[in-house]
Amino acid sequence: MQKATETVLEIDLNALAQNYRYLTSKLHKDTQVMGVVKAFGYGSDSVAVSKELISLGVSYFAVAYPDEGITLRKAGVETAILVLHPLPATFKKITDHCMEPAIYSRSMLTQFIDFAEEIGLTNYPVHLKFNTGLNRLGFIAEDIEFIAEKFAATSSVKIKSMFSHLAASEDASETAFTESQIAQFKDISEKINKKIDYKPLRHMLNTSGVLNYPKAQYDMVRTGIGLYGFGNDPEENKHLKPVATLKTVISQIHTVKKGETVGYNRAFKASETTKTATLPVGHADGIKRIFGNRKGWVTVEGKKAPIVGNVCMDMIMVDVTDIDCQEGDEVIVFGENPSADELSQVINTIPYELITGVSQRVKRVICRK
């Protein structure tokens, strides 16, 4: 790879392939994979990621909102797309682009059936989401009879899949709760199957579920964060490789004398002569303002350079006193070193927030390392 000459987010498709193969090695040979590519492919490049996943054998994609799926359709992606959070106002977008809605409530089911009948759809695929303890979206067991009656009374829609979402599959202390969710979903889905004359797909496992509860993989699994290099566990992370690397360069180097300050509000005051480097990346690019004043760091010439002063909108300053570097040198904000996981722990968050927070103004570079 060429050295960065500006702020870029490198997307390593070989890392994506490695992660996919590792995760699918945990599955039965007939288990399908739904690749979750919402939020611009977890902050990367949803189109490039999706096309690579198609070549690897993914069966389905999941997005949060219709516009995310439309981006894929316009790029030529024909694979089935599940829209996880549809609203009545977006039904037409969904059907116009041959996407499939997750239906999660009585009112949503009624409204989508009415919409489907009005425009003359037949057996349009929908996915029923059940709430088994996450308490975010989903039907509950008491809705089974209502669901059965609604589908018996129409030919406009057909159940393509039934699914639920684990709340704490990465947490060993919540094993009993997770097992109860799995049992609930098994019971609900079997009751639905008895009331209709076909068997929809079933899926429940997220990335941590794939790794920790393989017995519940059913017909398909949904994997998101694992594809991008994070398994919610230090041991599993050894088998995964971060797909995204945020890089920038040194714009200018300053010698800050003892007693002088750096940045807005004079937040950093040099206790001794200090060499700082200014980098063209800031909170408008996804470097949260909570970083700074030696909370968080970047890597320059393989060495840790703490962030000093307040994070600016378009710039940060780092301490390079003990690093032999010069203007124009490449800087790693996060990737393998430091990882988004390491940096997220500094501010008590999770890697999801860091990688999905990289601004769309940052240039994406697709590569294979």
Indicate which residues carry an active-site annotation: 38, 264
The residues facing 80 across adjacent strands are: 60
33 in Cβ contact with 52 (< 8 Å): no
The CA distance from 107 to 129, in Å, is 13
- Return the residue matching tokens 């979903």: 185
Q: Is 144 helix (H, G, I), strand (E, B) or coil?
A: helix
Residues 6+ apart with CB under 8 A from 193: 199, 200
Q: Which stretch of DSSP H or E encloses residue 48?
A: helix 46-56
Q: CA neighbours within 13 Å on the CB side: how many for 124?
A: 28
Amino acid at 338: P
The CA distance from 34 to 28, in Å, is 14
Q: Of 255, 343, 358, 341, give the one whose Cα is nearest residue 297.
A: 343
The CA distance from 224 to 243, in Å, is 12
| Strand pairing category for 303-308 and 316-319 | antiparallel
Amino acid at 334: F
Number of H helices, E strands in the chain: 12, 19
- Return the residue matching tokens 């009374």: 153
The CA distance from 151 to 144, in Å, is 11
Phi and psi torsions of 327, nearest 5°: -60, 135
- CA-based Rg of the chain, rounded to a whole angstrom? 24
Residues 6+ apart with CB under 8 A from 269: 259, 260, 261
